[in-house]
């Protein structure tokens, strides 16, 4: 099998057919709790209000569900929130449900 085919199979395994979300069935409610505790204050400091302008502003950085997951992982390590991958998934699920509404 060539490299590309291997990657393709790996992607299929990572996102089984039928699993619509890259974060599986992670619970957005748990994500909200984590997010409000460890992420919101700094975004509020930057944008005021409830900080959600960070996610809805013109020129925001993200455009897909995978972008959200990656960004949450990056912020997790930058802020030393020390979340497990399951917790990153919950926060990503929350951000999409509440703010981004990406379909893919
Ligand atoms: C110390 C401040 C700070 C903390 C804490 C912080 N962020 Fe951020 N966040 C930022 C800044 C600044 C940006 C904008 C980066 C840019 O525009 O290049 C950002 C951007 C983002 C974005 C992308 C917004 C867009 O453009 O669509 C997401 C998602 C995000 N943060 C999630 C998180 C999560 C999840 C946490 C908690 C683990 C977190 N942030 C904690 C400062 C912070």
Tens digits of per-residue pLDDT, 11-33? 666 655 555 799 999 999 999 99
Cα(17) to ligand 1 centroid in Å equals 31
The residue whose C-alpha atom lies closest to atom 24 belonging to ligand 1 is 55
Q: From 98, 70, 88, 102, select the one nearest 24 (Cα to Cα).
A: 88
Asked if residue 47 lies in contact with residue 53, where contact means CB atoms within 8 angstroms, the answer is yes
Instruction: Kindly tell me if the per-residue pLDDT of 7 is higher than 70.
Output: no
Q: What is the CA radius of gyration of the chain?
A: 15
Cα–Cα distance for residue pair 67/3, rounded to 1 Å: 24
- pLDDT classification of 9: cutoffs 50, 70, 90: low
Note the pLDDT of residue 5.
73
Which residues 6+ apart lie within 8 Å of 86 measured at CB?
Answer: 26
Average confidence (pLDDT) over 1-15: 67
Distance in Å, CA 78 to ligand 1 centroid: 9
């Amino acid at each position: 099998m060539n490299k590309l085919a291997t990657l393709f199979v790996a992607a299929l395994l990572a996102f089984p057919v039928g699993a619509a979300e890259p974060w599986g069935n992670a619970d957005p409610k748990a994500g909200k709790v984590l997010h409000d505790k460890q992420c919101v204050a700094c975004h509020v400091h930057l944008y005021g209000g409830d900080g959600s302008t960070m996610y809805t502003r013109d020129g925001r950085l993200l455009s897909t569900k995978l972008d959200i997951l990656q960004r949450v992982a990056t912020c997790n390590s930058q802020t030393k929130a020390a979340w497990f991958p399951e917790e990153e998934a919950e926060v990503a699920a929350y951000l999409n449900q509440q703010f981004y509404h990406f379909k893919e």
